[in-house]
Amino acid sequence: MNAIERDYYTDMSVLLDPYGWFEEMRAKGPVCRMANRDLWLVTGFEAAVEILNNANDWSNAISVSGPLLPLPFAVEGDDITDLLVEHRPEIPMSDLLVAKDGASHAQSRSLIAALFTPSRLRENQTYVTELADKMARAVVANRSCELISEIASPFVTYVVSDILGVPEEDRDEFRKIIDAAPPPGSMEAAPPPGKEIEWAAKSAELQAESSSNSPLVFMAQFFYLYIAERRATQRQDDVLSEFAHASFPDGTQPDIPELIRLATFLFGAGQDTSAKLIGNAMRYLVDIPGMQTQLRENPALIPDFLEEVLRLEGSTKAVKRLAKRPMMVGGHQIAAGDKVVIAISAANRDPRRWEDPLEFRLKRPGIKQHLAFGRGAHTCAGAPLARYEVRIMFEKLLEHTRNIWLVEEAHGPAGERRWDWEATFSMRGLNNLYVGFDPA
């Protein structure tokens, strides 16, 4: 079937492997229309950077609810800024940090500084090192594991719990709830082309019905108790206490729901993304001949290795923006109210930016300019944390092994590998990865 007829949101072949489709779309230009959808697609690196760096003309309001939901207002005129302010409460999840714009975004983002202080990150690294060591030793002692469920997911949940100061005795409970939740962006969440409006109404109904069971509601209840308790008492020497007493740069205090939204959002943002990076990185580590030996001999190369994995197989496929005003991008006139899907994983393979983009190069010049963590005002706030937690896990797995190998019964022999990719349109990650270990 012609690329133009395949649908990014519902076609299983595209969901499982978006890269071929991205290349076919790129052939039409760095910015193009998506077939059957009222959306623009950006695959070009330069156009992606231009949009991401312009938080003035582009809004993030749709970044959590996604571009398929119809806007709750009719677009009129050449500037939708006021309409957006007026109708923002009707856009689902537009009060989450990543969906905020302008001053309100800057204010919420400043609260993260209360959590991610340099001393807090140092303490967390000590915790991460001990945890990674313990988990790596345990799976290596067993000689094999399913990496996603036995290492990646539990590890990152414990790490985010620690950074947020969730008491140790509650961390297992958090893990169970998160494990039971459906993956974000899963297939069921996309309407067939042309059915967006009916689907929006139905999904709002379903959401209202199921919201009492959602892991976010559960976490919100937990955080409410933690934060309210600490607000009511003297400042103590713990992270949640710092967070509960955090103030905006102008000295005012955020209300408790704002803090809860931020804490639960951090859980969502820092969970699946980092877990998927562990799986994606391990796939390259064991499948590129000589790579693990090189990194075991010289662990200082692990950060370079991870950056190249982030470029080639970042966990986030795309981010979304809404045009507040008309603009020219990539040779196209975009109208106020238009929505764009910025395929950062396609921009990270754009041959106009990256020499031999499909080749894995360990020390690629300018590698840190990849867009796996976004760019501009909404650049991933957890990137430093993600980088060190995954680096430390790989250091430990390599330290405790002589060899890590893929289990061929699950993934096939070299040259004929089989991978079980998650069928989502927002993320890129494996459902499972079976590896074996020869202990050091």
DSSP annotation string for 388-408: HHHHHHHHHHHHTEEEEEE-H
- Residue 279 lies near ligand HEM (rule: CB under 6 A): no
Point out which residues pair with 323 in neighbouring strands. 58
Cβ atoms of 371 and 48 within 8 Å: the answer is yes
Longest dimension (CA), the chain: 66
For ligand HEM, the closer of residues 160 and 177 by Cβ is 160
Q: Least CB distance from residue 333 to ligand HEM, whole Å?
A: 23
Q: Can you tell me which of 88, 109, 120, 171 binds ligand HEM, judged by CB under 6 A?
A: 109
Phi-psi region of 330 (alpha: psi -120 to 50; beta: other; left: phi over 0): left
Between 273 and 292, CB nearer to ligand HEM: 273
- Name the residue nearer to ligand HEM (CB basis): 98 or 323: 98
Distance CA 354, CA 310 (A): 14
Residue-wise DSSP of 41-78: EE--HHHHHHHHT-TTTEE-TTTTT-TTSPPSS---SS
Phi and psi at residue 46, to the nearest 5°:
-65, -45
Residue span 61-90 as binding mask against ligand HEM, x where in contact by CB under 6 A, dash where not: --x---------------------------
Among residues 254, 314, 337, 429, which is the contact residue for ligand HEM, using CB under 6 A?
314
Q: Tell me what percent of the chain is helix, strand and coil, each rounded to the nearest 5.
A: 55, 10, 35
When binding is defined by CB under 6 A, the residue of 30, 44, 254, 374 that contacts ligand HEM is 374
Is 319 or 397 the residue whose CB approaches ligand HEM more closely?
319
To ligand HEM, the closest distance from the beta carbon of 80 in angstroms equals 19
Q: Is 273 in the site for ligand HEM (CB under 6 A)?
A: yes
Give the Cβ contact number of residue 88 at 10 Å. Answer: 17
Binding to ligand HEM, residues 151-180 (CB under 6 A): 160
**Residue 128 touching ligand HEM (CB under 6 A):** no
Helix/strand/coil for 129: helix
Taking the complex as a whole, the smallest distance from the CB of residue 255 to ligand HEM amounts, in Å, to 19
34 binds ligand HEM (CB under 6 A): no
Q: Which positions lie near ligand HEM, rule CB under 6 A? A: 60, 63, 97-98, 109, 160, 266, 269-270, 273-274, 277, 314-316, 319, 372-374, 378, 380-382, 385-386
